[in-house]
Amino acid sequence: MTRDAARSADRERLELALQAAGLGEFEWDIAGGRVVVSPRMAAITGLPAGESEASRIGIFVEPHVHPEDLAAFRATRDAAFQAGDHFDSRYRFIRPDDGRIIWLHMAGVVVREEGRIRCVTGVVEDVTQWRLEEDQRLQLMAELDHRVKNVLAAVQALAQQTAKRTTSLDAFVTTFSGRLKAMASANELLTAARWRGAAIDHLAAAELGAIAPGQTSWAGPELFLTPRAANALSLALHELATNAVKYGALSTETGHVHLAWRERRAGGFELTWTETGGPTVQPPARRGFGSTLLEQVTGRELNGNVAVEYPPAGVKVRLQAGPQAVAERPEVVPESPSQRVTETVPTSRGPASLKGARVLIVEDAVLLALELETGLSEAGAEVVGPAYELEEAMALLDRQIDAAVLDANLNGRSVTPVAEVLRQRGVPFVFATGYGEVGGAPGGFEAPVIRKPYDVTQVAAAVAELLGKD
């Protein structure tokens, strides 16, 4: 192959590489004041292809750089021209042909002869899509930060209000854990719908579906609530269900709770909670936080009002919500909680006993692991671990283990390898996870599942049931 043929082949390979990468190239002759723009660069930028006067093209001067990016662009350009041998800049570019604004990534080298700049050669890339995705990512991170702070603030307020109205630590833990779980259920539904809304029947199924089977029912049109309204209604349903189990219709085998809702002509909805077949009802002697939450917080959060009545036949609640509480049907609608795998929480017959049992704890959240260790130890277990990472857990598997408590995800890595080894060895385990799995336990294993947030006594009871301990 001749030298000219070799150069031609090299040029052809370069052309193919530039085309595949979506790059357009240019060369700026400083001394001659001319710029050569390739056809690919012309297609990207809207500049004329071929050779033109540098002042008219305006690649390295101001005409086509977005005003808000001009200062940064000048600084990058001047630094490269004064002392550098290369440059790299991302900025908004105003196309001269149609006025569209795109994001450009320009990179190249400064060629000097005897200390003076002879030419600048480089490539440009349209990174508009990348920039849009980056902006979206930053917006999502800001929104996540906002929501996390809101959730933490709500949890803090819930804890403070619950503590002010309970007389013992045990009562606080039970009441607060239940309210926290109601918030978690609503948030799980909202997350599945990409925080566009949650259906009333899904909220009802999540709160009522697992208690007193056959004694609860709900009916109404498909109606979606905003995230704020969904959280408020979930807490309200939890308070009503808790009171019904303690004192009302669900405290007996003959009682029943029916939840019904309908749309209002003026917008919003009306929901009624009706208890029948339970013990004779009397108005409460004192007002607790549950009453305050129902009558003040829930009504205000739903832009409506709540009325609670105590007729002898059973508690009746009427809730009216304004149009602001209703959301459009989300593009993604999660399955009803009644169609999803439910957590396995055995019926408690007193504190679980794990005396003598060697229980492995695998949990990446240190505080949760410490809480599990304390709770299982108090139940009599000999704790193996805790293991916070997958490698730590795998290294502990050569020890004698009777049962295990596994978090499904360990810092972004699946706990499946640990579960597989335990299954092969016939060691039973329970998943304690924050993931809303559909269709079964994580990884398809046949194992009990307890959803976070949980009470450690639930975990101890589940492990005791696995081991056949009363």
pLDDT digits (tens, 9 = 90+) for 226-282: 888 888 888 888 888 888 888 889 888 889 999 999 999 989 999 999 999 999 988
pLDDT at 62: 66
- Comparing CA positions, the residue from 150, 147, 167 lying closest to residue 158 is 150
How many whole angstroms separate alpha carbon 340 and alpha carbon 465?
22
Yes or no: say if 437 and 335 are a contact pair by the CB < 8 Å rule. Answer: no
DSSP 380: T
**φ, ψ (nearest 5 deg) of residue 309:** -120, 150
Give pLDDT tens digits for 392-401.
Answer: 999 999 999 9
> Which regions of the chain are under pLDDT 70?
1-21, 56-62, 140, 142-158, 160-162, 164-166, 175, 178-179, 181-183, 185-195, 210, 212-213, 287-292, 332-352, 434-441, 443, 453, 469-470
CATH of 358-466, one of 3.40.50.2300, 3.30.70.20, 3.40.50.1970, 3.30.930.10: 3.40.50.2300
In a 3-state reduction of DSSP, which class is residue 401? coil
Q: Is the pTM of this model over 0.95?
A: no
Q: Do domains 14-126 and 358-466 have the same CATH topology?
A: no
Domain 144-339 class in CATH: alpha beta
Query: If phi over 0 gives left and psi between -120 and 50 gives alpha, with beta otherwise, what is residue 402?
Result: alpha
How many DSSP H helices and E strands does the chain contain?
14, 21
Domain residue spans in the chain? 14-126, 144-339, 358-466
Q: At how many degrees (to 10) do helices 169-192 and 200-208 cross?
A: 140
CATH T-level assignment (fold) for domain 14-126: Beta-Lactamase (3.30.450)
CA–CA separation, 344 and 319 (whole Å): 32
What pLDDT does 343 receive?
Answer: 44
Q: How far apart are CA 409 and CA 364, in angstroms?
A: 8
10 class by beta-carbon count within 10 Å (0-12 exposed, 13-18 middle, 19+ buried): exposed
